[in-house]
Amino acid sequence: MLRYLIVPVIIAFNATGAVPNFYQKQADQIGIDATKIYAIALANAGVNNEFGQYLPWPWSVTVDGHYYQFKTRGELFIYLKSQQRNNKVITYGIAGIPLKSQSSEELWQSLDVVYQIQFAGKKLKRINCSNLSQCLANYRRNNQQYKKIRLKNNHRLRVPPMTTQALNRIIAVVAKETGVEQALLHAIISRESAYKIYAKSQTGAMGLMQLMPGTARYLGLYKADYYNPYKNVKAGANYIKEQLVNFNGRLELALAAYNAGPGAVRKYGGIPPYKETKKYVPAVIGYYRYFKKKMG
């Protein structure tokens, strides 16, 4: 489930305490002081965990001076792919890798923790510095360009699909939490966004469930949550559930209300005579029957 924390980047440069063995092992392979690598990791992607420990988190990103933390490698990958054409200053991971025009395969590989440690270590090895603060300053000054590194004994990694198993799990969780059938959620998503997480319509509808900004706010979403797959799907599920209650379980009217608004359904005493809605309702019902049969 996508989750970001939006906070200003004010990170204390602190490398106190023992360096984890994982970092030490990578530093030994590169031939560089592990303390330097760990300090860079803390400075670029430090976060306090639930026990109050300050540790580096590899799936973090800084966008124009704001720090975001994602739960998984896959979630950060999806976000970075969506931002590659934006004119923003974006760095990510414990190495503070600049987001450029990396291919999907290169981007996915660069999110590997070992890759990030080696990326930082190999850059640090070329930098002259006498203390940790100077190392950090020089590292950031010389870290303007992305350049691939080769990992020893590393096979070519395939980018996993981000719109199949991961989203299926999210939809299954939401269905269980809200009581809305998985088949119906899949049907709405198929018609609304075709499983494109960052879909946005010309009218401003957003995400998998294509929520309008006003509807999203009504459902309790903050702006940062609009394209969060879990929160978007759950909000949409709650909305269709509300319409099913409003219209006594009549699916065709609930779907019409989802598309055109409950006020329009009440006004016309049924499916509104809107071209879009008249196409929308049978299309979703068709998907619903398909998924219901497929899921047993």
Domain spans of the chain, in order of start: 7-141, 165-294
* CA nearest to 180, candidates 169, 171, 189, 170: 171
DSSP states of 95-146 as a string?
A: TTEEP-S--HHHHHHHTSHHHHHHHHHHHHTT---SSHHHHHHHHHHT--S-
Task: Please provide the average confidence, as pLDDT, over all residues in the chain.
Answer: 83
Of 23-27, 132-136, 231-235, give the lowest mean pLDDT range: 132-136
Of 113-117, 147-151, 181-185, 228-232, give the lowest mean pLDDT range: 147-151
What is the CATH code for 165-294? 1.10.530.10
163 pLDDT more than 60: no
pLDDT tier at 12 (50, 70, 90 boundaries)? very low
pLDDT tier at 149 (50, 70, 90 boundaries)? low
**Percentage of the chain modeled with pLDDT above 90:** 39
Candidate ranges 1-15, 38-52, 234-248; pick with highest mean pLDDT: 234-248
* Burial of 30 per CB tally in 10 Å (0-12, 13-18, 19+): middle
| Whole-number Å distance between alpha carbons of 114 and 118 | 6
Q: What 3 state SS string does 8-68 have?
A: ECCCCCCCCCCCCHHHHHHHHHHCCCHHHHHHHHHHHHEEECCCCCEEECCCEEEECCEEE
Q: Which residues pair with 55 in a beta bridge?
A: 47
Average pLDDT of span 12-20: 54
CB atoms within 10 A of CB 64: 10
Residues contacting residue 177 through CB under 8 Å, at least 6 positions apart: 234, 237
Pairwise pLDDT comparison (76 vs 282), residue with the higher score? 282
pLDDT tier at 152 (50, 70, 90 boundaries)? low
Question: Tell me: the pLDDT tens digits for 88-113?
Answer: 889 999 999 999 888 877 888 888 88
| Whole-number Å distance between alpha carbons of 30 and 224 | 39
Are the CB atoms for 28 and 10 separated by under 8 Å? no
Question: Tell me: the pLDDT tens digits for 117-139?
Answer: 998 888 888 887 777 778 877 88
DSSP states of 207-258 as a string?
A: TTTTB-HHHHHHTT--GGGTT-HHHHHHHHHHHHHHHHHHTTT-HHHHHHHH
Catalytically annotated residue among 75, 105, 192, 276: 192
Helix (H, G, I), strand (E, B) or coil at 151: coil
Of 42-56, 138-152, 209-223, 276-290, give the lowest mean pLDDT range: 138-152
| Whole-number Å distance between alpha carbons of 181 and 268 | 27
| DSSP, res 295 | T
| DSSP, res 91 | E
Average pLDDT of span 161-183: 82
- The pTM of this model reads 0.52
Question: What's the pLDDT at 102?
Answer: 85
Question: What's the pLDDT at 160?
Answer: 43
> Which tokens belong to 208?
């998998």
Question: What's the pLDDT at 148?
Answer: 66
| Whole-number Å distance between alpha carbons of 280 and 276 | 6
242 is catalytic: no
Question: What's the pLDDT at 146?
Answer: 63
Question: Tell me: the pLDDT tens digits for 33-83?
Answer: 888 888 888 888 887 766 777 888 998 998 888 888 888 887 888 888 888
Of 7-16, 66-75, 137-146, 202-211, give the lowest mean pLDDT range: 7-16
> Which tokens belong to 131?
């203390």
